[in-house]
Chains A and B, each alone.
Chain A
Amino acid sequence: MLARVANNLFWMGRYIERSEHIARYLNVNYFSSLDAPNKLSQSRQFVLQSMLYMVGDQTEDLSVELNEEDVLYKIGLDIDTSYSIINNIKHARENANSARDLISTELYESINKFYHFGLNYPVGSFVKNGLYDFTVNITEITAVLRGKIRGTLLHNEVYALIMMGMNIERATQITRIINAKYNDALKAQGSYGDKFSKSFEWTTLLKCTESYDMMRRLYKKTPTSISTLEFLILNPNCPRSVMNCLNQVYAHILILDTSKHYNKNSTAFLVGKTRSEYRYKHIEEIEDNIQSFIENILNSLGQISQKMEMEYFNH
């Protein structure tokens, strides 16, 4: 496979995944704030700031009053903001376009519909009353795309590259979401007992990652800081957890790299090493210093991405 096209497939996976997480973050935060138990969590300014924090836009001066429609437009449909959902969709399609001869007609057609859905969404109704409809559609279409990737492609290098892109991106976005909600939990302390560990924001965090029901099923208790983080970071059975993503990345790098003994400079080696590191971590280690955990994992994911670039995309 061409190195350039491999790179495009990897990024196609990343952009599809990214658009979904941003869409869900907007949706869940906005709607769960409407009847949140404390004043700060209910405040519109608090929610809008959290949204901007999640997409990494900290250029806004926190003392300036944010306008809801402006923020939603900026993150949703503004083609002039690099992180907007519409730009992620555009990039996903552009990358799919250049690999069009390698992916299935069915997958391409779905990505193309995804693009036209985003492009034709009326801006006026999106910022006024379309947030729910738009973001739910985005998350549903991305689920369809995942189905087409799994069900219509040969499970070979093409598939492995897309899956690696998706899982590296998923781990990255989950970590970013943990970071943003951790930040919110610090600001909006809970109303009884240990105010931080029992913050309402942990529930929101689980919903943002579509993991709330699974978590309740497993722990059978109201989410706390420690149980939420354990579930989202270390539980290998939670399909959104960082651990699960690392397992997936590992499984797919094995399709690309079939050598029996790894070269210590290879991507496969680095992925294996990072995965082992998290496999034998326990939550107390992380909870002590969430901030540095977040930095470390983002750093590791960045390194894996860079390694792939050097090993596979840069010929």
Chain B
Amino acid sequence: MGKAEHPIFSFYNKNPDLYDEIYTKGGDIKEVYQKLFDIYGGHSIKEFADLNKKARASFFNQGITFQVYGEKESHEKIFPFDLFPRIIDANEWDIIERGSIQRSKALNLFLWDVYHEKKIIKQGIVPLDLISSSNNYLHQMMDLDPPGGIYNHISGTDVIKHTDGKFYVLEDNIRCPSGVSYVICNRTALKRALFGVFNHYQTHTVTNYAENLLDLLETVKPKGVDNPVCVVITPGMFNSAFYEHSYLAKTMGVELVEGKDLFVENDFVYMKTIRGPLKVDVIYRRVDDLFIDPLEFKPNSSLGVPGLFAAYKKGNVTLANAPGTGVADDKAVYTYMPQIIKYYLDEEPILSNVHTYHCSRPDELKYVLEHVHELVVKPVDEAGGYGISIGNRLTKNEIEKVKKQIKENPRKYVAQPIMSLSVHPTYIDESESFEQRHIDLRTFTVLGKDKEFVLKGGLTRVALEKGNLVVNSSQGGGSKDTWVLKK
């Protein structure tokens, strides 16, 4: 029989040094994956390749794509999708969910503090330098009370499983975390291709995100408003996450606006409709801080709304997330998360932090410079996986280059031991077979006034290149449907 007729798992190579999510330490299939493994194993390579092709075409025709920006032009690409789902059982999920909420709450309290009394700094728990040297600290937010007391309404927490089988948080994203629409698309695509598999598992739904998001937005409406008009603001259809913006607006049933659709009069915000102006109360904004209002921030921004910040300051409109949250998802603040959680909540962190070396501290800088080859070096304020160097993949020359960069601006860099992300069987086109690929998980936490919700699923991202540890979509990452099982 030719290769194409073999069962799909016949050529799965297992590297014993990696933590494979579907195997036990002893080398058996984990109980929870057994049924799935049997069902998938019943497909031949050829059948599976066909299913995979169809799933991709479905994404393409639905226009579920994103833009990748090159130096000259941008391309429309499908977010690569893998048909083998990741399963998280109820007990594991409980840890992740509680851990995500804990972090979001602690970060919210931290943000209130650094924009008001700064107790945590005065008491010497985090250094002043952490705030004062951050590009994302907005002095405009000083002493301002966001409606409902919420700063980070929506948080994306990136979690990995290390070879020790424990979950670690790699970063918190509390500016405009994206990816939630793909969680839902992945579920839809998997249902279309292999609906039978759902008969054997009790999986939580992921389609309730939009309703929870809209509920949240309504809990943080400005004072004196009964039925708030909510909108989603997008930088426009050329933004890489435009699909997601339109998806969220559509599923919440609210308008998707651009900056030019809004205007401010007497410190109230209005949108321009076919019947004239309509007052807007809550804005879920997917435009970065510095672009939301040219009068207050970048004067040449055409994405924002002149006067929006003044209206916000008066309490006439809610912005979610609040401006200035970036100061708390900085990779340098990350390293203080255990202390931050302890300080505000008096709890031990439920999810672990990866140990981090600050290049701003002379002794740690020295250690980092001596050990670049075995560390991951990251700039503290870049998103999307840009600027990361992974020590064991660098040549000698590259190591020297990284060292030079760090020495030029130590505050800009932190370093961490190379964490080995767990691996998951992923279908690879070139080899027509499942192979081990590194994965992480982004959870989505929604925090409102007396409301908290974590989407039971999240986005499992896959680094498609063999051995690669960077899972971001802008770096060629894909994703998987993620099943959280009911108890």
Residues of A within 8 A of B (CB): 1-6, 94, 97-98, 100-102, 105, 108-109, 112-113, 116, 157, 256, 312-313, 315
Contact = CB atoms under 8 A, between A and B. Distances in A.
B272 A101 contact: no
A101 B256 contact: yes
Given A4-B261, A113-B61, 11 more contacts: A3-B261, A3-B274, A6-B274, A97-B63, A97-B237, A98-B237, A100-B246, A100-B250, A101-B246, A315-B272, A315-B276
A312 B276 CA distance: 8
A108 B63 contact: yes
A100 B277 CA distance: 22
Nearest to A315: B272
A2 B273 contact: yes
Nearest to B248: A101
Interface of B: 60-63, 236-237, 242-243, 246-247, 249-250, 255-258, 260-261, 271-274, 276-277
Contacts of B272: 2-4, 315
A315 B247 CA distance: 25
Contact of A157 (B250, B258, B274): B274
A153 to B, nearest CB: 13
A313 B272 CA distance: 9
Contact of B273 (A98, A109, A256, A315): A315
Given A105-B62, A116-B60, A312-B274, A2 B257 contact: yes
Given A97-B242, A113-B61, A116-B61, A1 B274 contact: yes
A94 B237 contact: yes
Contact of B274 (A97, A100, A256): A256
A313 B261 CA distance: 11
Contacts of A313: 274
A312 B246 CA distance: 22
Q: Which of B242, B255, B274 has the most CB of A within 10 A?
A: B274
A2 B61 contact: no
A116 B273 CA distance: 32
Contacts of B246: 97, 100-101
Given A94-B237, A98-B237, A100-B246, A1 B62 contact: no
Contacts of B242: 97
Contacts of B260: 4
Nearest to B270: A315
A22 B337 CA distance: 63
A206 to B, nearest CB: 35
A5 B236 CA distance: 12
Contacts of A98: 236-237
A112 B63 contact: yes
Contacts of B261: 2-5
Task: Pick the 3 closest A-B CB pairs, nearest first.
Answer: A101-B249, A315-B272, A101-B250
A148 to B, nearest CB: 13
A3 B237 contact: no
Given A94-B237, A97-B237, A109 B274 contact: no
A181 B261 CA distance: 43
A256 B277 CA distance: 16
Contacts of A312: 274
Nearest to A4: B261
A179 B59 CA distance: 43
Contacts of B256: 5, 100-101
A100 B255 CA distance: 10
Interface centre among A1, A256, A315 (most CB of B within 10 A): A315
